[in-house]
Structure 1
Amino acid sequence: MTTGDWHIPSHLLERYLDGTLDPVNVMSLEAHLVRCARCRTAVPADGAWLATSWERIAAEVTAPRPPVTEHLLRRAGVPGHLARLLAATPALTRAWAAAVAAALGFAVAAAHLAEHGFLAFLTLAPVLPTAGIALAYGRRTDPAHETYAATPMAGAPLLLVRSVSVLVTAVALTALAVPLLPASAMSPTMSPAAWAWLLPALALTSGCLALATRVPLPLAAVVLGGGWVAVVTVAGVATDDRTLPFGPAAQALYGCAVALLTLVLYVRRHRLDPAEPR
């Protein structure tokens, strides 16, 4: 059927003018209007308006689907612009999540097979959020850094938002691994030990961000992550008690450290800008 054989029915034209016509029919209708002078006379608009309207609808229909991370964030109530920024966080990509899952898998396997494997799990788990935060922002880790650096959220605000999302994701993945630990770690007498990684993870995270107000973020993550592993190892060897870094006294110390480091970070937040070289 040629253009001259068919013209827009009145009911479709009314819905088009009212703005109630669905996008697919709007595209079809406007494609016809471009070629049919008779139907264009029934539309109170000029050619420029039609061209702009067509471009907007075509862009909406052909726009790529958002990644799964962005979709989930939107469903959780995160604003669209913030969800897009978070979805582009290198430390929230599938590769990073797979690496974290693999590391936790090896740690869980070690907890079942090795004599001190459960302590290896407790030692590794707190380091994972810190490693992710080191990848949260910066020209060396983020391919889109130059683009985000020009936005109002560049620097400390974006880093803090991304760090929280990385922390939540890493903690959630680690929590999923806890039920896979040996039965001895989940027994009533050992149940607190299964979660003994949580406060150290929060302390290392807040410490990494606080230290990043003085040194580059990746360096802060390496120093604290390596320092944590070294301290746990030395404490276990020196005292012959490998559970000492995860006991009640140590947990109280980690809780105090979280509060103190969070206060330091708040006071020095204006210095937390990984975009600026030090």
Structure 2
Amino acid sequence: MNAQWHPSGDLITRYAAGRLDSVQVMSVESHIARCPRCRTAVPYDEGWLESSWDGIADVVDAPRTRPLARMLRGAGVPEHVATFLAATPALVRSWVVAVVAVLSFAVAAAHLAAPDPSRPLDALVPFLAVAPVLPLAGIALAYGPRVDPVHEVQAATPMAGARTLLLRALAVLVVAIALTGVATPLLPGPPGLAAAWLTPSLALSAGTLALSTRFSPLASAAALAAAWLAAVTAGGVLGPDALPLFSPAAQAAYGMAALASTLLVHLRRARLDRGEFRWKSMA
């Protein structure tokens, strides 16, 4: 069909009723797309047309809700916050799978290690060394132009800055602790010893946020993770009966460090966003 040919009234009626084959439909639609006169000749119901466009707009304009966002909304989190947290770079499937894989290897290593009754923590060293730094990897990937592909767009919203980093860091911390908590009962030895990772994890996470008021979250997390792993390695060599970094006194110190870092983050929260750009300008 061409622009000089116009479909007959009967053809348009059958087209509107859906009684044409696919070739005829494509021909008629190709013509009426260029012919205003024939477009007006096609009968339609205004109410049906309006509802149809509304339905199309709902499907096209409304993005598909992510499973994480649906779960957060079910837990009572406001819709806009749930949608925002579901877009956290660190909470993508690959990061969660990586955390599960690392925990699985650590649990397997703990079971394969030869137990020594005089040093009950030795078999748990791989798990206790790795578990506290898992949230740090997520926090490092939670915010900033280096890790978030839509950071520039997000930075122009009211959620930008300290609120973004704190919300995403909290979400990452909860996910990492939940996954690690599930793995803890699978470890050999008393539950109290297996749970010795919790306070170091909280202290390191709070310390990362505190350092992020001066440096980028990525640099802060990397520095604390390296320091922690070096300390665990040294503690494993120097401790005569048990790793000193997991003693009751050390646990109390971690708790106080976590509280002090949290207070520092609260006092310096306005500088959380600046730390990323200060570090970027120095790089």
* Normalised TM-score (structure 2): 0.76
From the CA coordinates, give the structure whose radius of gyration is larger.
2
Q: Which runs of 5+ in 1 are unaligned?
A: 6-33, 44-49
Q: Aligned-pair distance for 1:264?
A: 0.7
For residue 92 of structure 1, what is the aligned residue in structure 2?
91
For residue 251 of structure 1, what is the aligned residue in structure 2?
251
Q: Aligned-pair distance for 1:163?
A: 0.3
Q: In the alignment, is residue 59 of structure 1 matched against residue 60 of structure 2?
A: no
The CA distance in 2 between the partners of 1:86 and 1:55, in whole Å, is 31
Q: Aligned-pair distance for 1:270?
A: 0.8
* Aligned residue identity for 1:150: A
The CA distance in 2 between the partners of 1:218 and 1:99, in whole Å, is 18
For residue 149 of structure 1, what is the aligned residue in structure 2?
155
For residue 223 of structure 1, what is the aligned residue in structure 2?
223
The CA distance in 2 between the partners of 1:74 and 1:218, in whole Å, is 29
For residue 136 of structure 1, what is the aligned residue in structure 2?
142
The CA distance in 2 between the partners of 1:117 and 1:142, in whole Å, is 38
* Aligned residue identity for 1:276: F
Q: Aligned-pair distance for 1:80?
A: 1.5
What are the Cα deviations for residues 150-183 of structure 1, in whole angstroms up to 9, with x where unaligned?
A: 111111101100000000000000011112112x
Residue pairs, 1:121-132, within 5 angstroms: 121-132=127-138
Contact kept, 8 Å, 2:208 with 2:221, in 1: the verdict is: yes
Q: For 2:278, what is the secondary structure of its paired residue? A: coil
Q: Aligned-pair distance for 1:74?
A: 1.4
Q: In the alignment, is residue 267 of structure 1 matched against residue 273 of structure 2?
A: no
The CA distance in 1 between the partners of 2:74 and 2:131, in whole Å, is 28
Residue pairs, 1:200-215, within 5 angstroms: 200-215=200-215
Identical-residue share of aligned pairs (%): 51
Q: For 2:277, what is the secondary structure of its paired residue? A: coil
Contact kept, 8 Å, 2:217 with 2:276, in 1: the verdict is: no
Contact kept, 8 Å, 1:235 with 1:241, in 2: the verdict is: no
Q: Aligned-pair distance for 1:235?
A: 2.3
Q: Aligned-pair distance for 1:240?
A: 3.2
CA distance 1:150–1:56, shift in 2 (3 Å): farther
Q: In the alignment, is residue 277 of structure 1 matched against residue 278 of structure 2?
A: yes
Q: Aligned-pair distance for 1:140?
A: 1.5
> Which of 145, 149, 158 is matched with 2:164 structurally?
158
Contact kept, 8 Å, 1:155 with 1:275, in 2: the verdict is: no
What are the Cα deviations for residues 92-113 of structure 1, in whole angstroms up to 9, with x where unaligned?
A: 1110000000000010011001
Q: Aligned-pair distance for 1:241?
A: 4.1
The CA distance in 2 between the partners of 1:56 and 1:224, in whole Å, is 52
* Aligned residue identity for 1:277: R
The CA distance in 2 between the partners of 1:267 and 1:4, in whole Å, is 67
Q: Aligned-pair distance for 1:275?
A: 5.0
The CA distance in 2 between the partners of 1:81 and 1:165, in whole Å, is 15
Cα RMSD for the two superposed structures: 2.4
For residue 198 of structure 2, what is the aligned residue in structure 1?
198
What are the Cα deviations for residues 220-258 of structure 1, in whole angstroms up to 9, with x where unaligned?
A: 001101101111211232333442111111111111111
* Aligned residue identity for 1:152: P
For residue 28 of structure 1, what is the aligned residue in structure 2?
none
Q: Aligned-pair distance for 1:143?
A: 1.5
* Aligned residue identity for 1:172: A
Q: Which runs of 5+ in 2 are unaligned?
A: 1-12, 18-40, 115-121
CA distance 1:36–1:169, shift in 2 (3 Å): same
Contact kept, 8 Å, 1:212 with 1:220, in 2: the verdict is: yes
CA distance 1:218–1:108, shift in 2 (3 Å): same
For residue 175 of structure 1, what is the aligned residue in structure 2?
181
Q: How many residues get paired?
A: 236
More moved, 235-244 vs 135-144: 235-244
